[in-house]
Structures are given as C-alpha cells and as structure tokens.
Chain A
Amino acid sequence: MSITGSAGQTAKRGVRELGAEEKVGWDAVPQGVVLTSFDSTIEEGAAFTKPEDRNYSDFNSYTATVASWRVVKPVYNRDICIDCQNCWVWCPDTSIISRDKQMLGIDYDHCKGCGVCVEVCPTNPKSLLMFTEALENDEALAGWPEKKKKAK
C-alpha cells in the first residue's frame, strides 16, 4: 500500500465511522478485550514500518473516522511552509502527515480541529490556519492573508 491522493490517505484509513463497526455476539468478541493492532505480524516491528505499509486491523482507530466531530479545520498552505515539523511534534492526534521531514498535509479522518498546529506554526503568514468545516480548502487558500509587516 502507498500514499495516494490527499495527504497520507490509504485504502484503510478512516473507512468507517467510529462505532459503526459490525456488532458481533458474545461468542465472537476477543478474549479479555484484547485488541490486535494489525491483521498480520510485523517481524521488524511496527516502529520501523510506515503507517501506509501497516496491515491495520478493524480494531485499530486508524480505520475509523471521527471527522464528523470537527466544526473547524486546519488548512495547510504548502507555499509558505518551511517544514519545521513543529505541527507534527505538537499534534495530539498524530494527524499531521509528514514523510522524510517534509510536511504533506492533514489527516482529516482523525483531526478534531483543536488548532494546536496553527498556534505553533512559526511562519509569517502562518502555513496553517483554521477555517469553518464547510469552506472548501481551495477557497481558503485563495483568501490566504498577506505577510504581516513589522510594526515600526
């Protein structure tokens, strides 16, 4: 599997609403509520395998989406970003997608719109800004603010 389309999107990410999974009976739930992260073993360890290459199980929150929880969203402007990785470090939901220290964008399946990424963005103007969920990203980018001049 590889990254396709919008940032970090794979065939398994956010494919169902959280809680919309199949409700199996007592005989089919896992013993001891032990949830497996992946459908197969990872011999070299999950830490060395990129998310898009991991065989996520249906128990993994990676396969669920919580996009509907969000009312405002961060929009990312590639033209201004300096790939400092501040947003990647601070995001509480690992929803900043970055590969080889290059920022790719937002995981909108898991971002809850907290705005921390915008707070920590050091560029001028910011490379991430919050917009209402209903606004298209293209429109948001078209109306991006100009660089602020230093006060004399």
Chain B
Amino acid sequence: MAEKFDLNEVEVWDGNYAASQALRQAQIDVVAAYPITPSTPIVENYGAYQANGYVDGEFVMVESEHAAMSGCIGAAAAGGRVATATSSQGFALMAEVLYQASGMRLPIVLTVVNRALASPLNVRGDHSDMYLGRDAGWINIDAFNSQEAYDLPLIAFKIGEHLDVRLPVMVHQDGFTTSHKAQNVRPLEDEVAYNFVGKYVPVDDMLDFSRPVTHGAQTEEDWHYEHKAKQHKALMDSRSIIDSVFAEFKELTGREYKRVESYMMEDAEVAMVLLGSSVETAILAAKQLREETGLKVGIIAPRCIRPFPYDLIRDELDREGLKAVVCMDKSAPGGAMGALFNEVSAAAYTTNARPVISNYIYGLGGRDFAIDEAKRIMNEQKAHADAGHITTNIQQFSGVRGPKLGFFETRRG
C-alpha cells in the first residue's frame, strides 16, 4: 500500500510539480515515460514518488516518446489506469501513437507542457505541440496556472474513464511560464483526491482471460468510416460529461471550471480570445484599460480545446454590444490563419451579432507577451469596432522584430 504524502493546506508548487502530485494521487497502474524539457520534472518527480514508496504502480522508462505512448496503450488495453507526460519534439514523436490511443478508446491521461517545435530548436513555451495534436481524437483541456495544472489531471482521469466517454485526455500547461513558475496551490488530501477520481473500471481489458478480445484491428473502406464516425460522436458527446465532472469538482473544492472561461464579457465591446498563461496577462490588461480609458474589454479563454466548444463560444460572441474580437494564436500558422481564429470564426459566423474577427500570431518560441502589448491590441480592436470593419490586415504578428507583417484584408466595410 502506497505511503500517504503529507501535504499542507497551501503549497508552493510550480506547474510540473503540481501535475506530478495529481498523477501520484490518482494511483496509476502504469506510467511509461521518456522525459523531455520542459515536462521533465513531472516524470522525474513521479519516479521519485515511486522509488520512495508513494506509488504502488509500475514506472517504465522507455527508449522514446513513441515507445512511451505505445507502452501506455498496451497497459491501458491490458486494463490499467495509465498516464504519461511530454512536450514538443517528444509530443511530435508520439503523434502517430496518439491516434491509436483515441481510436482504441483508451482513457490515457497525457500531461503536455507546451513548447515550440523545431526548427530552429527551442525549449520555450508556445502552443505548436498542442496544435499538432488537435485532430488526434483526444479530449484537450488547458491549465492556465499551477493550481489548474494540479486540478485538471484529476478531472481528466474522471472524464476520460467515464464509461460514456472512454477517451484519452490531454492536460496542457505552458512551458516555463506555468511549468516552472511557483505559485500557491491548494491540493486535496490523498484520500480525497483519490476518492474524487475513483477506482478504475476496466473495459474490454486484455487481462480478462475468460473473455478474449482483439485490440487494434485493421479496417478498410467498408468499416473504417463507421468507426471514425462513432469515435467523433463520443468526443462530441463528452461535452456534457465534462460539464458534470467540472460541477462535481466545484462541489468538492469550490473551484469552478467551464469549457469556456470568460471574464468581463457581460458588457464587452471588444474581446480577446486566447489560451494558456497569457489569459491572466490579458485579464490584467483588460482591467487596466477599463480603469484607464473606459474601454470595455472582455476575455474569452477556451478551457476545453477538444471537443471544441462551438456552443459556448457562440454564446459568448452573440452579444449585441460586442463589435470586435481578436483571436491570439501562439503557434506558427504554417500558411493559414491561426487555428483559434478559424474555429472561433466558424462559431461566430452563425451568430446574430457577427462581430468582426481578426487574428494575431504571438509569443512564438517563448517570446514574452506583456500587458502593454495586450492593451495595444485591445485598443486596435476598438478602432475596428468604431469603423465597423477590420482596419488592419486580418492576420498580424505581435512582438516580432522587423517590418510590419500582415496578411489579407477584409471585404466587409
């Protein structure tokens, strides 16, 4: 039986340590991992818990991230609670196997500490890895600070393992700005945390020898489509389970999560949509602008990136007073608009309000995104709102040196 870990009511933890504590408390059967910056401490701490008797399950050090996720899939198919952690290049190497996990409906929890993708090689935080995996069929939720980096893995197990869901879940946090920033965290006691997550209920486990099953079958053109359709429906239908697990967590801790977080949107004239640790920067900027100039700025932050909350985003955007929205994408867009811009625009297109929407690329490779820049962009939205159309290029770059960079102009005037 695992040793109890004594915790204070308030601990000072960085995002990595917070995530590792949540994994420890979930009493995982198998963690197969290959550490990579900046998520290394999650795996490192977990290994220490295991070595010191705080974890009963197996900890397998493998030869690559591809093997790490493969090991997780094998252990999950065998019938265990399974998790791992990765970042960036490791995530990219894992990409092939991510699709296997979701297609096989194995509720693995992957804590992703977001980092840029090479080339050029970079260890700092942006959302390139998160965007790379967005079509992999996983539920994706995003932590904006250390407390959330602790809470959300616990929530992730409960969502993914729900018998009406049975899908793998990624919990993202920003490399360094969250993963290495120590903040006050209020953890749950070991027993309380475990009781919230609950005992793992295996489904179609390979270790049930009385009922042999085949996992990972091949299907060609006469079957594949139906399986993918069913998988997509499970992902879309998980929305109500996510909501109910969030509600259960609020009941237990008082901490409330929503698939879309919003701040000061009730009377907002302009809004900024963004993810990760930048959300807190944007909230501060919006508050300052409201005080300094009276500009009514609101913030929309998708907590749940997959299944994408078109329903709730639309509710946030369908406000009569809302005139201009800017979507902030922290990933090199690779010849398109940022993904957040595309998805939010799709949600907005069927609203009555139809605010104008523009796109900023920002923060690549860990480039700082500060309050002054956030305020400048918010003021620019005010100009769009007053003009009734986008007065700049639709896509622009924030905080990049050199001549102004932008693409596409609006045809709405």
Contacts and interface: CB of A to CB of B under 8 A. Distances in A.
- Are A and B part of the same complex? yes
A36 to B, nearest CB: 6
Contact of A32 (B166, B223, B229): B166
A23 interface: yes
Interface of A: 19, 23-27, 29, 31-38, 41-43, 45-46, 59
Nearest to A59: B214
B211 interface: yes
B210 A41 contact: yes
B219 A33 contact: yes
Given A19-B222, A26-B233, A32 B106 contact: yes
B213 A37 contact: yes
Given A45-B210, A46-B212, A32 B226 contact: no
A119 to B, nearest CB: 29
Given A25-B226, A26-B226, A32 B211 contact: no
Interface string B214-230: 11110100110111011
Nearest to B232: A26
A73 B372 CA distance: 80
B235 to A, nearest CB: 13
A145 to B, nearest CB: 42
B386 interface: no
Contacts of A31: 105, 166, 203-204, 230, 234
A46 B210 CA distance: 7
B210 A43 contact: yes
Contacts of A26: 225-227, 229-230, 233
Given A19-B222, A32-B106, A41 B211 contact: yes
Given A38-B212, A46-B209, A59-B214, A32 B222 contact: no
Interface in B105-129: 105-106
A21 to B, nearest CB: 9
Contacts of A59: 214
A32 B104 contact: yes
Nearest 3 interchain pairs by C-beta: A32-B105, A26-B229, A26-B226
A32 B225 CA distance: 13
Specify which of A24, A29, A33, A59 lies most central, judged by the most chain B CB atoms within 10 Å of its CB: A33
Contacts of A42: 209-212
B103 interface: yes
Instruction: Kindly name the residue among B106, B219, B222, B223 whose own CB sees the greatest number of chain A CB atoms within 10 A.
Output: B223
A45 B212 CA distance: 9
A54 B225 CA distance: 31
Contacts of B103: 32-33
Interface in B132-170: 166
A42 B104 CA distance: 24
Max chain A Cβ within 10 angstroms of own Cβ: one of B166, B214, B223, B229 = B214
Contacts of B212: 36-38, 42, 46
Given A19-B222, A31-B230, 16 more contacts: A24-B226, A25-B226, A29-B223, A29-B226, A31-B203, A31-B234, A33-B104, A33-B215, A33-B216, A33-B219, A35-B214, A36-B211, A36-B213, A37-B213, A45-B210, A46-B212
Contacts of A36: 211-214
22 contacts: A23-B222, A24-B226, A26-B226, A26-B233, A29-B223, A29-B227, A29-B230, A32-B103, A32-B106, A33-B216, A33-B217, A33-B219, A34-B104, A34-B105, A34-B204, A34-B215, A35-B213, A41-B211, A42-B209, A42-B210, A42-B212, A46-B212
Contacts of A34: 104-105, 204, 213-215
A32 B214 contact: no
Contacts of B225: 26
Contacts of A32: 103-106, 166, 204, 215
A23 B224 CA distance: 11
B209 A45 contact: yes
Contacts of A19: 222
A19 B219 CA distance: 11
B102 to A, nearest CB: 9
